[in-house]
Amino acid sequence: MNFYKSKVIPGIHVPIKHTPEDMEIITNVASSFNPVAIFELGTLQGGLTLLLHEACPEVAIVTFDQKPVEDEAAFKVLFRGPGSVIAYTGDIFKPAITDFILTMFRACSFGPKLLYCDDGNKPLEVNTFGPLLASGDLLGVHDWGSEVKMLDVAQTLVDFTPHREEEMKNREVRFFLKK
């Protein structure tokens, strides 16, 4: 397990399941994409949430997980500043929550969104929520090649193009732009 060391808040180190190289790619992609909102599936301890918040401090982040955040003290630092973080706990595949996520996607139709799939069933996340994204939205996936293989999501990704593909060779993250 790696730790994301806050660049803004001294003394904050939050566990994260991404490599330092993948963290750098995610930071660069998120900040250069300039989304109006970020949706994260899979909060865990909030390490990626903190990274995304610092990469895009003015952007609202909505994060979902089946369990409450494990490190509540570190996570609370995200609830301040111009960009806000909203955390939800629940099963994203229950129809009511899926519908809620779709409603939030539609509420952010004034600009591109970033959806990052990193919860317990990434192929199902991509195949369920990828089609709900609009043209110009960005889909990110963690654990590419191990938990997610192209065969698992090929039908959904027909509507996407690889984003910054060259940077992600031999990495566990992938990004796709909705056509």
* Domain map (residue ranges) of the chain: 2-178
What topology does CATH give the domain 2-178? Rossmann fold (3.40.50)
Residue 106 has pLDDT above 60, yes or no: yes
Q: Residue 9's pLDDT band (boundaries 50, 70, 90)? A: low
Residue 76 has pLDDT above 90, yes or no: no
Range 101-119 average pLDDT: 93
With contact defined as beta carbons under 8 Å apart, do 119 and 41 qualify?
A: yes
| Highest mean pLDDT (candidates 8-17, 55-64, 77-86) | 55-64
DSSP 172: S
Could you tell me the pTM of the whole model?
Answer: 0.90
In angstroms, rounded to a whole number, what is the distance separating the alpha carbons of residues 29 and 33? 6
What pLDDT shows up at residue 122?
A: 97
Range 90-103 average pLDDT: 92
